Amino acid sequence: MELKNSEYQIQGVPVTEIANEFQTPLYVYDADKIINQISTLRNAFNGVNLRIKYAMKSLSNLSILKLVKEHGVDLDCVSIQEVLLGIQAGFPKERILFTPNSVSFEEIQEAVELGVVINIDNIAILEQFGDVYQDTVPCAIRINPHITAGGNAKIQVGHIGSKFGISIFQMSHVKKVVESHNINVVGLHMHSGSDILDSEVFLMAANVMFDCAKDFPNLQFIDLGSGFKVAYKEEDIVTNIPELGKKMSKAFQEFCASYGRDLELWFEPGKYLVSESGHLLTKVNVLKHSPAAVFVGVDSGLNHLIRPMMYDAYHHIKNVSNPEGPKRVYDVVGYICETDTFGYDRKLNEVRVGDLLSIENAGAYSYSMSSNYNSRLRPAEVLVFNGVPHLIRQRETLEDLTRGQVDIFSSIPVKTEEASLD
């Protein structure tokens, strides 16, 4: 979103026009931003066979999936439902990685039947996998490198206390299981967390993986997960992707030379690809003055965007209707019957009832984590592609809230007692 001729635009389309056409609250995504992020990541890695696996849990709309697929991106899935959606979006099965945790073995068997790449993060499941498939079905193994990295503690997943992956301290056990069950391990995987700034963290984790790789002679890929930091504020420090690409490409080439052949290098960006493309458009319902703050109440809440409340995440907010008005300080809050503050003490261009606000960086883990809390409806989604806004998800209706519910009292009489007249 950029300010041109005193109005905010996306690909030349005034944001106010998009809001008027599709109504608020509304998620709007800029396809050009997603495409640019893909190109930036791909161009940063030279001399290596790079595969980008989009972490679809960040934003799973079918149109977004098809957009990234058409730009050569593969898929990273964490549930069988995501796998099925990926197949529906047209991804070839060999381009889909399935990395679940704490699922039943039956779900893994279903994924095997679908023909996707299986990634296992549990020794007990690995043993079951070997009992059933031995060397007939290849798999990857997710390793926990015991590296604490990332922003909020809830998105740090590579430390020793994390439920994800098999500890590097258990690799001798893993090797015995692989050998005794004749398991064909074709990939090693890790993911330390999200919002990682320092490229040295990725290199540290990569060296752990390279060291483990010597015990697996049939590898086809090393998957280093993701966690690239994007900007939420103008002054934010972000992951230096060109620097990371240069350093990692060199390190990976050296590893492949020592391993004896070239492997594929995989990354699994989600937030990096789609976060900055997304905008949650909301209308100002009320201005409420209190002794402590001036509250701007909008027609959305934590049911649509839970990240500020769940992760203390910062999302920049713009007054689209009054981009050049004088600055005032506000608390921007939602309409849910809980504390659902989008931003405290925000300097916004003067806000008036009826104004259109845009909550930025709403492409990743925003709609995909939304809910019907307070029986509120989830918003529509729009993708601006080639300068044209396209509806890619309809706004929910009341019928969507009750779909699947069974009213037993439509057929069972309810006995009531007459009120006493004493």
What are the tens digits of pLDDT across the range 34-74? 999 999 999 999 899 999 999 999 999 999 999 999 999 99
Q: Which residue has the tokens 């995504």?
A: 29
Two structure tokens written together for 154: 């809830």
User: Band of the pLDDT at 353, cuts 50, 70, 90?
Assistant: very high
- Give the mean pLDDT of 363-392: 97
Quick one: which of 335, 330, 304 has its CA closest to 317? 330
pTM of the model: 0.92
**Residue 137 burial by Cβ neighbours in a 10 Å radius (0-12, 13-18, 19+):** middle
Bridge partner residues of 385 (DSSP): 388
Stretch 70-97: mean pLDDT = 97
The SS3 assignment for 99 reads coil
pLDDT per residue as tens digits for the range 282-336: 999 999 999 999 999 999 999 999 999 999 999 999 999 999 999 999 999 999 9
Is the confidence at residue 193, as pLDDT, over 80?
Answer: no
212 is catalytic: no
Does the annotation flag 338 for ligand binding? yes
Residue with tokens 């031995």: 134
Peptide bond before residue 25 is cis, with ω within 30 degrees of 0: yes
Residue 314 annotated as binding? Answer: no
254 is in an annotated binding site: no
For residue 157, pLDDT beyond 50: no
> 237: burial class by Cβ within 10 Å (0-12, 13-18, 19+)?
exposed
Q: Establish whether 234 is an annotated binding residue.
A: no
Does the structure show a pLDDT above 60 at 151?
no
Range 397-422 burial, b when 16+ CB lie within 10 A, else e = eeeeeeeeeeeeeeeeeeeeeeeeee
Domains annotated on the chain, with CATH: 2-27+275-402 (2.40.37.10), 99-269 (3.20.20.10)
Q: How many CA atoms lie within 13 A of 265 on its CB side?
A: 26
Structural contact between residues 249 and 46, judged by C-beta atoms closer than 8 angstroms: yes
On the question of pLDDT at 169 being above 50, the answer is: yes
Q: What is the mean pLDDT of the chain?
A: 92
Q: How far apart are CA 100 and CA 107, in angstroms?
A: 9
Determine if residue 363 is labeled as part of a ligand binding site: no
